[in-house]
Structure 1
Amino acid sequence: MFPANFINAERISVANPAASKKRILEEIAGLLATASEELNQGTVFDKLLERERLGSTGLGHGIALPHARVAGVTEARGAFIQLQSGADFDAIDQKPVDLVFGLLVPEEATEEHLQLLAKLATLFSDETFCQRLRKSQDREALLQAFIQQEPIPKSANG
């Protein structure tokens, strides 16, 4: 299961017009920065860009999973962008990306980070799930797609 409050409607963007990798990272950074008052878009963007410089987080099949460990983040947080059209993200298959899930985890959360990335990669390898995300037309429908695919507990006690 994903952590409580991992993703919400406010951190989802539908039919986003971003058309470049830099702009996509700026957009996902802006969404992720709303997860905590201590975060700002510039800091999150810098961390995501730093990670991208190590190698593209474009998984192929239209999916990108930009992610970073950030000081001051106390719990993992996600954000999702459905792009209006595909954009070059230096993906492993060199195909355009149209679904982008951003992930922030605490700086020291190495194991949690890896587990969440693996869970997200598995989720996005499901073609039916991805098609549902591509067809959804509002934030709430996208949020429901994630909730129905992976139950998100209301509290830590479940």
Structure 2
Amino acid sequence: MQIGELLSLDRVVENADVTSKKRTLELISGLLSGEGTELSADEVFDTLLARERLGSTGLGAGVAIPHGRMKGIQQAVGAFVKLHEGVDFDAPDKRPVDLLFALIVPEECTDAHLDILAQLARLFRDDETVEQLRQCTDGTTLYRTLTEWGARHAA
């Protein structure tokens, strides 16, 4: 599954002004439960928070991939947030996180979940693309940067 299949422009936020991990997860939950999904923000938040309790989804270098599996959904859905200022996300390198790609997948889609996470990890290891994301000044440019990277690196 390509990144463009997970995202929509209305689930990409630039310059979000949140000050904590909890507020960031609440913002993401609202995006993932937006129009066109059958998800509730509370259920998404609970799922993401439960996964964070197992261990931080902060990768390091200012990046995190909050994710989880949920019953009752038909397809994977993603959201991308670029924060105005980084927040503590318990990342292994202790750097504040400012770029987050959140993912919710159907509970039974274990292999697809892992494949998407692997693709996102490759994305965030691409230093040039990460720098481009940090330089973006609007949601449309963020969306285009993410989807174009996904199209070039489709599995």
Query: Given the two structures, how large is their TM-score scaled by the length of structure 2?
Result: 0.93
Once the two structures are TM-superposed, the CA of residue 3 in structure 1 deviates from its matched residue by 6.5
One-letter amino acid of the counterpart of residue 48, structure 1: L
Match of 1:28 in 2: 28
Match of 1:15 in 2: 15
Match of 2:119 in 1: 119
Q: Deviations over 1:20-59 (max 9, x none)?
A: 0000100111111116442111110000000000000000
Tell me the distance in 2 between the aligned counterparts of 1:6 and 1:118: 14
Match of 2:60 in 1: 60
Identity of aligned pairs, percent? 46
Unmatched tracts of structure 1, length 5 or more: 153-158
Tell me the distance in 1 between the aligned counterparts of 2:65 and 2:92: 12
3-state SS of the aligned residue for 2:80? strand
Decide whether aligned partners of structure 1 residues 129 and 4 sit closer, same or farther in structure 2, where only a CA change above 3 A counts: closer
Decide whether aligned partners of structure 1 residues 4 and 137 sit closer, same or farther in structure 2, where only a CA change above 3 A counts: closer
Please, which moves more after superposition, 53-62 or 25-34? 25-34
Cα RMSD between the aligned structures? 1.4
Tell me the distance in 2 between the aligned counterparts of 1:143 and 1:69: 23
3-state SS of the aligned residue for 1:151? helix
> 1:37-116 maps to which residues of 2 (within 5 A)?
37-116=37-116
Contact 1:3 1:76 in 2 (8 A): no
One-letter amino acid of the counterpart of residue 91, structure 1: A
Query: Given the two structures, how large is their TM-score scaled by the length of structure 1?
Result: 0.92
Q: Structure 1 or 2: larger helix share? A: 2
3-state SS of the aligned residue for 1:59? strand
Once the two structures are TM-superposed, the CA of residue 5 in structure 1 deviates from its matched residue by 3.2
Unmatched tracts of structure 2, length 5 or more: none
3-state SS of the aligned residue for 1:5? helix
Tell me the distance in 1 between the aligned counterparts of 2:119 and 2:24: 22
Match of 1:155 in 2: none
Aligned residues: 152
One-letter amino acid of the counterpart of residue 65, structure 1: I
Tell me the distance in 1 between the aligned counterparts of 2:115 and 2:37: 25
